[in-house]
Amino acid sequence: MKAVGEGHAPRLWVQRLSASAWQALNAGKPPIALGCLVYGRGGDDASQAPANTGTIVLAPAEPPVDVWCSEGPVAHGRCGGVRWAHNGHWLFGALELDEGSEGDALTALSTRAYRDVFETLAHTGCDHLLRLWNYLPGINADAGGMERYRQFNSGRQQAFLEAGQAAFEGAPAACALGTRDGPLRVRFLAGRHPAVPIENPRQTSAYHYPPDYGPHSPTFSRAALADAGGGQVALLISGTSSIVGHESVHVGDVAAQTRETLANLRAVIESAHQRSSARFDLATADCVIYVRRGEDATLIRQLFEAEVGAESPAARRAIVLEADICRADLQVEIEAHAFAPGEVLP
């Protein structure tokens, strides 16, 4: 297949829809979707779409879907456990892996998952990871003396190093959330060109967290900035929480954690502005708000609305999900993606 626009990126965009709107769209036209995140726990599957995050949707009322779109033609295939779709420039992949019961299983399983991810990149020529979504059951549970999130971090980092992928500076944007049950789920977006990694001066880079948080640090950057084609720049902001330096702050105070998270999001956007002529605004971004305890959702949403404006696009389109956050002392995590005209600075 001839790659679309060698050199020039074909346009990449995201459509945030309700599951039924997505179904209606699919009925009419050939899908232009590379892949999608179908939020919810399943059973309410929106389409033939493979994605399902295993999280619990608190808002909006109808299960939402984020559809990652580009221009066709789109090729589909499988590589190990990964189902992928790409148009020669942008790639979206999805995999689910079931766990065995051995103590070390999650570390090994995570390495296996990421090996399949990297094999997919090599196979398709879309070699640069931009954004990953990780959903794992019992993220804060202990297994054989180590928290499962830490096991995941060890396995993930090992696969990055094995594959010669940037495990530290230059790592992709990501999030890692806990589900109640189900398989390890990984979704990813990759491209033909590397993204510009963005860090947050208020936070230690996650890949440099000290060993207090586990023997191997998490592998992600605070955001990825990329030319999204059509004169647009994409800012893909990783899961962002109430961490200053490397420490969780305002432990036990959900309101203060939410405000700190919002301050971190502002700081990430400010960092991105130093690397791009595009101007991003959280008030027009597509956000996903993860809350550990469903009963905190109203308060967290109020504080989010106080930041972006209750009538802003971000507030109207926000998705609120119940999920475990990767540190047991964190109550909220917010991620966002935004597109704006401009260019990535050389």
Active site residues: 333
63 binds ligand 3EB (CB under 6 A): no
What is the smallest separation between the CB atom of 239 and ligand 3EB, expressed in angstroms?
3
Taking the least distance from each CB to ligand 3EB, the nearer of 213 and 339 is 213
Q: For residue 289, what are the contacts with CB-CB under 8 A and spacing of at least 6?
A: 297, 300, 301, 304, 318, 319, 320, 321, 332, 333, 334
What is the smallest separation between the CB atom of 213 and ligand 3EB, expressed in angstroms?
8
Residue list 228-257, contact with ligand 3EB (CB under 6 A): 238-239, 241, 243
Binder to ligand 3EB among 206, 287, 300, 320 (CB under 6 A)?
206
What is the smallest separation between the CB atom of 326 and ligand 3EB, expressed in angstroms?
4
With vertex at residue 126, the alpha carbon angle to CA 77 and CA 94, rounded to the nearest 5 degrees, is 45
Stretch that binds ligand 3EB, among 159-167, 171-179, 249-257, 281-289 (CB under 6 A): 171-179
Residue list 283-342, contact with ligand 3EB (CB under 6 A): 326
Binder to ligand 3EB among 37, 117, 126, 174 (CB under 6 A)?
174
Taking the least distance from each CB to ligand 3EB, the nearer of 19 and 195 is 195
Taking the least distance from each CB to ligand 3EB, the nearer of 123 and 266 is 266
Distance CA 296, CA 294 (A): 5
What is the smallest separation between the CB atom of 328 and ligand 3EB, expressed in angstroms?
11
151 binds ligand 3EB (CB under 6 A): no
Binder to ligand 3EB among 220, 280, 304, 339 (CB under 6 A)?
220
155 binds ligand 3EB (CB under 6 A): no
Q: Which residues sit at the interface with ligand 3EB, rule CB under 6 A?
A: 134, 174-176, 206, 218, 220, 238-239, 241, 243, 326
